[in-house]
Structure 1
Amino acid sequence: MQVTDVRVRRVEKDGKMKAIVSITLDNEFVIHDIKVIEGEKGLFIAMPSRKAADGEYRDIAHPINSGTRDMIQSIILNKYETTLLENEMAAEALA
């Protein structure tokens, strides 16, 4: 499985949620609403989830092994950091 596209759709400077991301797998399957979150130990991703009847949040889609999760997280966080730099350079160019 390959992550063939990463789209950072929204970037926030304030709060713990830093971005909303979509990824495409093998040019065939898209997962929307992956969140980039700033935690106590740094940035991490939260897969899309919905609130269950018991009030708990359950992932809608998620990797089933840690290696795949680590790979997806690494790719998303690299793209997020690149997007931040591009946004900063664009803002400086306009100033």
Structure 2
Amino acid sequence: MKKAQNTAPAPQEPVQTAAGQPLPMKVDVKIGSIRPEGNIRAYASVNLNDCFAVRNVKIVDSSKGLFVAMPSYKAGNDYRDICFPITKEFREQLNQAVIGAYHQALTQSQSPNQQKAGETATASDLVPEQPLGLRMG
């Protein structure tokens, strides 16, 4: 009787273009609620490549402007992000997508042709998909 081997599958390499560049990350953002007062201006949901979702992403207003705060938990006196971008390039892409969706939602909420109550604004088309190695802007 043969013994079954317990082996882990080989890690998958990222999908790349013919030029060896990583394919872009598709970032879809939905703004769930806008808060006109306080430091937290809105909450967002982010879907990555239609296969991973991040909820409770905050758009925070600070003295340096708007920034994106990932979901976090309190550890002692500090807060630690539960999930976060690893690379500077993806952090920039994510921040631009979330803040772009927030500005789009603000514009739609202030226009005379407001969306029906309960609908959310999306920003999947606001930030063009680009390889992570390229700077957007």
Q: Does 1:15 align with 2:38?
A: yes
Work out the CA distance in 1 between the residues paired with 2:51 and 2:113.
Answer: 36
Q: Secondary structure at the match of 2:37?
A: coil
Work out the CA distance in 2 between the residues paired with 1:14 and 1:73.
Answer: 21
Q: CA deviation at 1:93?
A: 4.7
Q: Could you tell me which amino acid in structure 2 is paired with residue 25 of structure 1?
A: L
State the match for 1:2 in structure 2. Answer: 26
Q: Could you tell me which amino acid in structure 1 is paired with residue 93 of structure 2?
A: M
State the match for 1:75 in structure 2. Answer: 97
Q: Specify which of 57, 61, 69 is matched with residue 38 of structure 1.
A: 61
TM-score by length of 2: 0.63
Mark the CA change 1:14 to 1:28 in structure 2 (over 3 Å): closer, same or farther.
Answer: same
Q: Does 1:59 align with 2:90?
A: no
Q: CA deviation at 1:7?
A: 0.7
TM-score by length of 1: 0.89
Q: CA deviation at 1:56?
A: 1.2
Per residue, is there more helix in 1 or in 2? 1
Question: What is the root-mean-square deviation of aligned Cα atoms in Å?
Answer: 1.3
- Once the two structures are aligned, what percentage of the paired residues are identical? 32
Per residue, is there more strand in 1 or in 2? 1
Greater Rg by CA: 2
Stretches of structure 2 that go unaligned for 5 or more consecutive residues are 1-24, 115-137
Q: Using CA pairs below 8 Å that are at least 6 residues apart, which structure has the higher relative contact order?
A: 2
